[in-house]
Amino acid sequence: MNEILQYTVQGLAAGSFYALAALGLAIIFGVLGVVNFAHGACYMLGAVTAAVLLDLVGMNFWVALLVVPVLMFVFGVLLERLLVSRLTALDPLYNFLLTFGLSLLLVDLVKRQYGVSGLPYTRPEILTGQLSVGDVRLPTYQVFVLVFSLLVCLGVWLLMTRTRIGMIVRASTEKSELTRALGVDVSRWVTPVFGFGIALAGLAGVLAAPFRAITADMGSSFIIILFAVVVIGGLGSIVGAVVAGFLVGLVEAFGQAYAPTLSQIVIFVLMAVVILIRPAGLFGREENA
Amino acid sequence: MLEIRGLDAFYGEAQALHAVDITVGEGEVVTLVGRNGAGKTTLLRSIMGLHRDVRGSVTLAGKDLTRTPAHQRARLGLGWVQDDRGIYASLNVEENLTLPPVTHVDSAWSLRQVYDAFPVLADRRRAPGTTLSGGEQQMLAVARVLRTGARVLLLDEPSEGLAPVIVQRIRDIVLEVKQRGSTVLLVEQNVAFAASVADRHYVLAEGTVAADLDNAEFTARQGELLEYLGM
């Protein structure tokens, strides 16, 4: 019983990274129609930036949690303005190639500057150790990551459902052309939405920094799982991205615990089963598939 | 109010519209009738600025729209109701209504007026848009552009696939809109419906205007038109 609870929390904590990053990926895809292949690299960049800022200016984790997403937002805005926007009118394949190339470039730039061995990051004192819940002991950091991510997801959900910006994002995700024809200037929201999506990937990176090995390649396997998450949740579905993120985290944790050799395969088996039963994903709509 | 001059539209190599001239005067209800594939929807999409591969001009109240993007055309007073109604599944009924910005305050219907005219929308205001029936979705689609105060309504086959009693209701709505002074360009295959609401009619065939008839002529030649339309 204890064991199951521990794996559950571990899985949900790992799922938090997927959920946050997939949320960004889903929002970007919804509004821009761009599948951001560089999302894994942006996650990596978030973690690396946190580590570098700790090393250079001694910026602590709590400040990084705020500052790094802002920096990543600016990075996303520049990326969209300078590169992505030039290709959105063309076949989506061009932005696919652009972001794929960008991810290779970012990974190699980080490798060149910081090597391949990984950057150190120390957890803040307060998040080390374990929490006791009854007679179950859970790693404090995992509980923190889970609660923090849930709060961020809740915040994004409120933004999407309770504000006019959220309504416009939902509308243009579903019917981009009609939304413009109804007098909504969708293009005004494209750049901030892209920046916001990148910021979410960066935030996932900062959260992962004290938890995972910070290397240039940390985003490469991450992005593959992230695509599985998005397919399971339903491409373009915001709720789907979050639910599938946590689900994949759980599957991965239990897979590692009970069938270590199969743990990666299990995720893709889950993806295949979902596609067989619901081709548009758990929360996708058929017409969007 | 709305003037289309020499409009050619293309899909790659294929030309879908050939030098189409259409005029819709202020407060007029004008229909476009024609078979499937005659270019009716392409024409509406070109007017709206959604089909960009065009030559010729579209003028709204004296303003040339040729270079104006779709969202600005909407803001200048074009209200488009697309043929599949275009109701958002991820927005509830009220959000579907309030998504488009109000563009002409003096002619805009308030939410209150919309709900008084369509009580079913008020009852279902928190329900996802696509959970409404086909007829209710059509009312929602029309109410949505009425709320913006659009000066010219572009309605793409509002009667399509609806039960006769609902078609009746849609007809009443179009007549009410007309009474309030709005201008309507209506794409229709239902000749009886067209004759019951419109002042004038354009018959579109193979991408060109084949005939321009007033309602008396149109009604007199209904049999011939029905045959021509293959109905």
Q: What are phi and psi of B204, to 5 degrees?
A: -105, 130
Q: Average of pLDDT values for A210-221?
A: 90
Is the pLDDT assigned to residue B231 strictly greater than 90? no
Share of chain A above pLDDT 70, in %: 98
Q: What is the pLDDT of residue A1?
A: 66
Number of H helices, E strands in chain A: 12, 2
The pTM for the full model equals 0.83
Mark A240-266 as b/e (b = at least 16 C-beta within 10 Å).
bbbbbbbbbbbbbbbbbeeeeeebeeb
Tens-digit pLDDT profile for residues A17-29 = 999 999 999 889 8
Q: What is the pLDDT of residue A83?
A: 93
Is the pLDDT assigned to residue A5 strictly greater than 50? yes
Tens-digit pLDDT profile for residues B149-190 = 999 999 998 888 888 888 888 888 888 888 888 899 999 888
Chosen from A180, A182, A186 to mutate, greatest number of chain B CBs within 10 A: A182
* Architecture in CATH of B2-229: 3-Layer(aba) Sandwich (3.40)
Residues in chain A with CB shorter than 8 Å from the CB of B100 are 182-184
> What is the token pair recorded at B183?
């201008």
Q: Which residues contact B41 (CB under 8 A, 6 or more apart)?
A: B83, B156, B187
Q: Average of pLDDT values for B217-228?
A: 80
Mark B25-64 as b/e (b = at least 16 C-beta within 10 Å).
eeebbbbbbbbeebbbbbbbbbbbbbbeebebebebeeee
What's the mean pLDDT when you consider all of chain A?
90
Q: What is the pLDDT of residue A288?
A: 42
- The residue of chain A with its CA nearest to that of B144 is A182
Tens-digit pLDDT profile for residues B100-121 = 999 988 888 999 999 998 999 9
Chosen from A178, A179, A239 to mutate, greatest number of chain B CBs within 10 A: A178
Q: Average of pLDDT values for A192-207?
A: 96
Would you call A1 an interface residue with chain B, using a CB distance cutoff of 8 Å?
A: no
Q: Which residues contact B117 (CB under 8 A, 6 or more apart)?
A: B109, B143, B173, B176
d(CA A240, CA B49): 33
Q: What is the pLDDT of residue B213?
A: 84
Q: Which of B164, B104, B169 minimizes the C-alpha distance to B142? A: B169
User: How far, rounded to the nearest angstrom, does the alpha carbon of residue A131 sit from its chain's CA centroid?
Assistant: 26
Residue B189 near residue B33, CB atoms below 8 Å: yes
Would you call A285 an interface residue with chain B, using a CB distance cutoff of 8 Å?
A: yes
- The residue of chain A with its CA nearest to that of B71 is A183
Per domain, the residue ranges of chain B are 2-229
Report the DSSP beta bridge partners of residue B185: B30, B154
Is the pLDDT assigned to residue A63 strictly greater than 90? yes
